Structure formats: structure tokens, C-alpha cells
Amino acid sequence: MKEKHLIVAGLADLRQDIAGPIPSEIIKNWVLSNQTDYDHQEILSDYIREGVLLSSDSAGLSKLSQKRSLIEVMKLINDPKEIIYGYGKYIGGKGVGVWAADNTQMFFDYSIGSFDVIKQIVSAQQEIAKSSEVQVGIALHKGKFLEIGNGFFGEDSEYVEMVAEDFTSGGEIVVSEEFADDLDKLSEFMDVRDDLNFNKKFFRLNYTELNFYSKRSASCDYPAPFSSDFHQYLKSGDFDDFEDNLIIKKYFNNNAVIVLKVYHQRNKFLLNELTEWVTVNSLISMVKSRDGVNMIKSNGDLGIFVCEDHHRAIDFAEDLQAMLHNNGYSYSIGLASGEVFVFPLENGFYDIAGNPVNVASKISEDIEARNTFYLHESVDVTGRNMSRFDNFVLKKSGVELKGFKIHF
């Protein structure tokens, strides 16, 4: 079986945000069925969405995070998110997931014309170029998607997320062949991206000479995890009172952050994969309950956890490593520490922002060294026996990362 690396993620410079919990009713119906092709199609039929999916990713965030305070970085990535959301919402697009990260995702139903979509996105990129310090790469793909737990699944979803995250640069618009087929008027402005050797062909849209004069929604409050008072503070850009501001103090803390990536085998049926996610998530919850670590979010594919005590965080990561190894799962774990914001969400869950999340992600899911636990130098290991660990030095996105690692 071919291993499947589903492109999902959390915050800062993580991959696309974690979807919500997998609805238990889907798993129950699948387990109780005969698990045939017909059953699979019937159970998922209500979750199929046809249209255009947009994914974006900020450029240069890793280096930027080294030079600016956390609140400044959050402001800088807020601006382009508001612009993308405003232009997308104006024609009926909807935000997917929670936009606490540097990336975005929007869905445009098939009833919204592809040319209308591209006009809005070109206008968004042109405004971002003029007004934002942070630039973003955008990928668009037309197809069928599965919307489950406020996240999008399926091969079509994976393609557009992967291209945006790994193969776009700041200011770029990349479109799939399926989407480009609807844009005959713009064919002369498109170049094939020969470096994207996938099953699908992708094109770069050279839009600098295009002028659409599109409008955007007056309400640009994208789906964020922040409270309204914090979001207004963030948009103001007035951070002189940052250290003493009561709004900030509610969410601000110094924590060790654990990012876990679990690698699942590709299965004929998506519902078998999602059932495995639920199983893994149950095992993770058992480890978490023993160690008293705070789980920000976890779906059995990717998890983010925080802990004020660095040694307890290391113990937790090693317990995760042992549990996954003993149950036959491939995984990677990253641990880093520093200043983070943890935000409560309306549904009782949490989200998180901060450079430690970015770093922990880079030394776990980005490196993809299977069955390895990477411990960044920001974590305090004073008094701990590290003889079982090896040193590591890596470069990701132009930033040097170093610390300790252990391979199971």
C-alpha cells in the first residue's frame, strides 16, 4: 500500500488547519455497514461539495518571525487574510476551517462562475501587493470535495493544499487544469508550471496587467479563533501597551509546544482512514490524560499540545512515541518552547498561535523523518539525562534549527 501524507495543519507556518472532529455518526454508519463501494458512496453522499477550492500560504514567515514580536507577526498575516476573505465573500465564497494560521482556505460553490472567482482573487492579490508587507501564494482547483468536520477531504483537496503550501511563492496565483478550462479569456496569460509533475496539470496566471476593478465585502471578519475584543486590538496595529494589555494577558503564556504527525496508510476507502484517525485519537487521549498535558487539538492525523513544564512535555512526547511505536504507527514529533497565544473557541476547543508552533511543525511534519522525536534547543533540558539523544542541525525555510533527536 502507498502511504498517504494528508496535508492538514495548525498555525503560524503549519500546513492547512486541522479539521474539526470527525462526526461519530459517519464512523458508526460505516462500521455497521457491509463496507462496500455502495455503502461508502451512500454514507458520504451528503458531504460531497462541487465547486472551486482556494488555498493560500504566506511567504517568508519563518524569517519574519525571527525579527518581529508575535503580536506584530499576527497583525502582518491578518491583513492579507482580511483581503482574501473580503473579495471571496463578496461573491458568496465561504471560509473553511479556522484561520488562525498564516494560510487560508475558501470554497466557492459550483453556482459561482469560475471567471467571477478569478476576478476576485486577482483583485485580492493586487491589493495585497500594494498594501501588505506579507505576500501570499494562492492555488485554486475545481473539482469534487468532501466537507467533513469543517474540513475538506479527498484527492482534489489534497492537491490544492499541497500546491499552495509547497509550490507557490509570494504574489503567485496557480490554477489547476480543471479550473483553467473555464478561463478561455485568460489563456494567453497562463504558463504551464512544468515543475509540478502531478496527475493534474497546473498553470501560473500572469495577472499583473489585468484590471477587473472588483469589489470586496465590507465585512472582512474571516473565521478566526480570536475573541472580538482581541481581533479588534489586532487590527488596530497599536501595540504600545502590548505587555500590559489585559486583552493580551488572558491568552499569553510561555509554553512548550508538542506537534505530532501520524502517517496513515492509503486505503481504498476514506472512511477506513478516518476510522483509523479516530482510533489513534483515542490512544492519544489516553496518553494525554496520564500526563496532564493540555491538548489544543488533535484529530488522529495531527495533534498540537502545550505544557508549561518542559520536562513533563518531554515525558509526554516520549510516551506518545512509545504508544505509537507499540501500536505499529509511523509518526514524527517536534517539541519547541516560547511565547504563544492560546485562544478558546466557541465550540469548547482551542487554537494557538506563536513561533514555537511554527518551529515544532518544521521539525516534525515538514521534515518527515519517520519515527523520530526532535527536541528544539529552546526547550530546557537542564538536569535531564540526554545520553540517548543525538544532536541535530537543520535548515528549513532559511532558518537554522538545532537541538536533540531520538529515533525509535
pLDDT 10s digits, 84-136: 999 999 999 999 988 877 889 999 999 999 999 999 999 999 999 999 989 99
Which carries the bigger pLDDT value, residue 197 or residue 169?
Answer: 169
Mean pLDDT of the chain: 86
pLDDT beyond 90 at 249: no
Q: How far apart are CA 149 and CA 79, in angstroms?
A: 27
pLDDT beyond 90 at 192: yes
Residues 154-163 pLDDT 10s: 888 988 998 9
Q: Which residues pair with 374 in a beta bridge?
A: 334, 405
Which carries the bigger pLDDT value, residue 240 or residue 337?
Answer: 337
Positions of E strands within 240-384: 252-265, 294-298, 302-307, 330-344, 350-353, 372-376
pLDDT level of residue 14 (50, 70, 90 thresholds): very low
Q: Which residues pair with 270 in a beta bridge?
A: none
How many C-beta neighbours within 10 Å does residue 168 have?
A: 22
Which carries the bigger pLDDT value, residue 10 or residue 244?
Answer: 244
pLDDT beyond 70 at 275: yes
At residue 354, the 3 state secondary structure works out as: coil
How confident is the model over 237-257, as a mean pLDDT? 80
Q: According to the model, what pLDDT value does residue 10 have?
A: 29
pLDDT beyond 90 at 399: no
Q: How far apart are CA 208 and CA 173, in angstroms?
A: 11
pLDDT beyond 70 at 2: no
Q: According to the model, what pLDDT value does residue 237 have?
A: 82
pLDDT beyond 50 at 15: no
Q: According to the model, what pLDDT value does residue 83 have?
A: 95
Q: How far apart are CA 317 and CA 404, in angstroms?
A: 13
Q: What DSSP letter does each residue of 48-80 carry, written as one string? A: EEEEEEEEEEESSHHHHHHHS-HHHHHHHHHHH
pLDDT level of residue 232 (50, 70, 90 thresholds): confident
Least confident of 30-39, 62-71, 88-97: 62-71
Q: How far apart are CA 374 and CA 334, in angstroms?
A: 5
Residues 307-326 pLDDT 10s: 999 999 999 999 999 999 99
pLDDT beyond 90 at 378: yes
pLDDT level of residue 1 (50, 70, 90 thresholds): very low
Torsion angle in degrees (nearest 10) through CA of 87, 13, 308, 384: 180
Q: According to the model, what pLDDT value does residue 90 have?
A: 97
- Element containing residue 390 per DSSP (H, E): strand 390-396
Q: According to the model, what pLDDT value does residue 101 have?
A: 75
How confident is the model over 178-199, as a mean pLDDT? 91
Q: Is 350 exposed, middle or buried (0-12, 13-18, 19+ CB in 10 A)?
A: middle
Q: According to the model, what pLDDT value does residue 36 have?
A: 96
pLDDT level of residue 226 (50, 70, 90 thresholds): confident
Q: At what angle do helices 37-44 and 24-32 cross, to 10 degrees?
A: 160
For the chain, domains (ranges, CATH) are 36-205 (3.30.70.1230), 251-407 (3.30.70.1230)
275 residue type, one letter: T
Read off the DSSP letter of residue 362. Answer: I
pLDDT level of residue 339 (50, 70, 90 thresholds): confident
pLDDT beyond 80 at 243: no
- Element containing residue 398 per DSSP (H, E): none
pLDDT beyond 90 at 215: yes
pLDDT level of residue 341 (50, 70, 90 thresholds): confident
CA neighbours within 13 Å on the CB side: how many for 115?
A: 8
Q: According to the model, what pLDDT value does residue 397 have?
A: 65
Q: How far apart are CA 261 and CA 89, in angstroms?
A: 32
